[in-house]
Amino acid sequence: MPQILDPVPSDHSDRLTCTYANHTSQIQIVRITNIINWYFERVVFPGQQLVFSAPGDAHLEIHTGMMASSILSDTLTCRDLAIPDTFEFPDDLRSVTDHRSLRPEPVAA
């Protein structure tokens, strides 16, 4: 999965594909700040799932709060959030990833 705005640094060969889901009713900001020369930050809305790439030694900080303030509520290792290499999409999602299903049907004139 490419991350155009902030790709994982090239000197990190142990890149992981990770996932995090916000199961709270509040907006969260997630950050990775422990990797030298790299900064990752995303807003995760309630019920949203984020999929991202990160170095294996990265730590994801979870900040939860209101408009003017936030509290560091948790720190998780990206190894704990990694999607296994053997992961397979469920059948009901596989058709969504099939590019043929994204083509519009021809319109009869």
Residue 69 is predicted with a pLDDT of: 77
- Phi, psi for 75 (deg, rounded to 5): -135, 125
Confidence label for 65 from pLDDT (cuts 50, 70 and 90): confident
Q: Is the pLDDT of residue 39 over 80?
A: yes
Please indicate whether residue 67 or residue 52 has the higher confidence score (pLDDT): 52
Angle among Cα 70, 71, 72 to the nearest 5 degrees reads 125
Mean pLDDT, residues 40-57 taken together: 92
Q: What percentage of the chain exceeds 90 in pLDDT?
A: 44
Strands 49-55 and 59-64 turn out to be unpaired
The pLDDT score that the predictor gives to residue 90 is 60
